[in-house]
Amino acid sequence: CGRPGHALLSLSPHPTADIISTVEFNHTGELLATGDKGGRVVIFQREPESKTAPHSQGEYDVYSTFQSHEPEFDYLKSLEIEEKINKIKWLPQQNAAHSLLSTNDKTIKLWKITERDKRPEGYNLKDEEGKLKDLSTVTSLQVPVLKPMDLMVEVSPRRVFANGHTYHINSISVNSDCETYMSADDLRINLWHLAITDRSFNIVDIKPANMEDLTEVITASEFHPHHCNLFVYSSSKGSLRLCDMRAAALCDKHSKLFEEPEDPSNRSFFSEIISSVSDVKFSHSGRYMLTRDYLTVKVWDLNMEARPIETYQVHDYLRSKLCSLYENDCIFDKFECAWNGSDSVIMTGAYNNFFRMFDRNTKRDVTLEASRESSKPRAVLKPRRVCVGGKRRRDDISVDSLDFTKKILHTAWHPAENIIAIAATNNLYIFQDKVNSDMH
C-alpha cells in the first residue's frame, strides 16, 4: 500500500470507561461505530469530499453518541454484569435509517439511528414554543410547512434481546438474509429473529453434561457472508467448525472441522493458551477464513480442513516470553483481525501500539505504530521494527522495551477503500491511504 494520511483522535477525562472495546465500519464505510467499556457507542460519519474544503476530504467526524448499555446487577446470582460493549454489528441499510446491534456480556440491543433535518412550522393551534394559541387570535388558516433545521441525529432502542445467555457473549453476527442474527457465548450459540425478542433458537451447545469435563469453549463465531445457512465458530483449542443450519436444528455436529496439528517442538506450558483462537473473520469473497491466535494470523481455505493455507507471524519474538506474559495476563489478550476489501491484505494489532499488515500476494509485511507523535495530519506512517538481537538499526525497538499496556486489540478496515480504524486503548486512530485510495 502507499502512505496513510491523517489521524483522528478522541480523548476523554475518564480513563477506564473510555477504553474502546469494539470498532466496526458499516457496509458502505460511511459510518464507523465504536463501543467502549463504559457502555457508550460513538458513531463517526465520513464527511463527503468537497471541493471547497479539500483538506477535510473524507474525514470522519462524530455523528452520534449514546449510552447503549448500563451496568446491571443480577440479584439471583449476585453477579454484576458489565456494561462494556463487546461487539457492534451494523445491519444492512434498508431505508433512510441506520440500524446496529450492540451487545454486552448478556444483552443484545437493536438501535435505530435516524436523522431529522426538517421540522414543521406554522401550526394553526400551537405557537412556536408549542403552547396552545388563544383561539381568538387565530384569524386565518395556514398549512404547516417543513423548514430546514440543524441536523439532529436521533437514536432509539428498537429491540432488547435479553436473557438468552447464561455465559458471556463474545460475538454477534448478522445473517446475509438480513432477518436473523446469531449471538455466541462461551458454550452456546443462539439464533434470533431481528423482530422477535422473547425467544431464540439454540443452534450450538457444547456444554458438557458434567462441567468437570469441560475442555474447550467457543471464542468467536460468524455467519458466512453469502450463504445464509453456513456459519463458523472458533474454539479455545484452536479449531474452527463450519456448520450448516440445514443439516439439523442443533448444529453440534460440524460440517467441517478445521484444525492444524500441534507442532510438538513448540510445546510449552502455554501451548493451549496461545492456540486459542481470539477472532475469526470470513473473507469478503466467502472463500477464506482468517483466524487470530496469540502469536499468529492464519488464512484458511474453506475447502481444506487439514491446515491453514497461510500462516503469518505477528510477534514471534514473544514466544520466549510466554511465562512473563502469563504472569501479567497479557497472554489472555484477545486480538482481532481484519481483511481489506479485496481480501489481499490482512491486518491485526499487537503491543506497543503497533499493528501489522500482511500482503498475501507479495508476502510483504509491515509494522506500523498508532501514536500521537507519529500521527500528525498529513504525516506518513513510518514502518517500525522490533529487533530481537542481532543487528539493531537506529529506530528499532527492542523486545524488552515494548509497552505491553499499549495493546491494539480492535481494528477495522473500510469495506471498499484503504481506510483503517485502529483502537489504541481510549484513542481512535483513522488512517487513510490518500495515495492509493482504491483497493488493489
Q: Residue 175 Cβ, how far from other proteins at the closest point, in Å? A: 25
Establish if 320 lies at the interface with other proteins (CB under 8 A). Answer: no
Of 121-129, 150-158, 202-210, 246-254, the window that binds other proteins (rule: CB under 8 A) is 202-210
Q: Which of residues 273-292 bind other proteins (CB under 8 A)?
A: 273, 276
Secondary structure element (H or E) that encloses residue 34, with its range? strand 31-36
Count of residues touching other proteins (by CB under 8 A): 40
Task: Extract the C-alpha cell encoding 333.
Answer: 489478550
Query: How many whole angstroms separate alpha carbon 91 and alpha carbon 100?
Result: 5
> Residue 323: enclosing H or E segment and its boundaries?
helix 322-327
Query: Of 54, 13, 61, 20, which Cα lies nearest the Cα of 37?
Result: 20
Cell numbers that stand for 174 in this block: 448478522
- Region from 89-97, 189-197, 253-261, 322-330 binding other proteins, contact rule CB under 8 A: 322-330
Cα gap 41→89, rounded to integer Å:
12
Which of 79, 196 has the CB closer to other proteins?
Answer: 79
Question: Does residue 45 contact residue 33 with C-beta atoms inside 8 Å?
Answer: no
Site for other proteins in 75-94 (CB under 8 A): 75-82, 84
Q: Does 186 help bind other proteins (rule: CB under 8 A)? A: yes
Please tell me whether residue 265 binds other proteins under the rule CB under 8 A: no
11: Cα separation from own chain's centroid: 20
Report the residue from 213, 263, 373, 400 that binds other proteins according to the rule CB under 8 A.
213
Residue 207 sits in the site that holds other proteins (CB under 8 A): yes
Give one word for 284, left, alpha or beta, with left for phi > 0 and alpha for psi -120 to 50: alpha
The reply on whether position 269 binds other proteins by CB under 8 A is yes
Q: Are strands 230-235 and 218-223 parallel, antiparallel or unpaired?
A: antiparallel
Instruction: Tell me the window of 69-77, 115-123, 256-264, 421-429 that interacts with other proteins (CB under 8 A).
Output: 69-77
Kindly indicate which of the ranges 54-62, 118-126, 163-171, 301-309 contains the residues binding other proteins, using the contact rule CB under 8 A. 163-171
Query: By C-beta, is 207 or 385 nearer to other proteins?
Result: 207
The number of beta carbons lying within 10 Å of the beta carbon of residue 168 is 16
* Stretch near other proteins under the rule CB under 8 A, chosen from 216-224, 311-319, 378-386, 432-440: 216-224
In contact, 387 and 15? CB cutoff 8 Å: no
Q: Which residues bind other proteins (CB under 8 A)?
A: 73, 75-82, 84, 105, 166-168, 170, 186-187, 207, 209-217, 219, 236, 269-273, 276, 323, 326-327, 329, 332
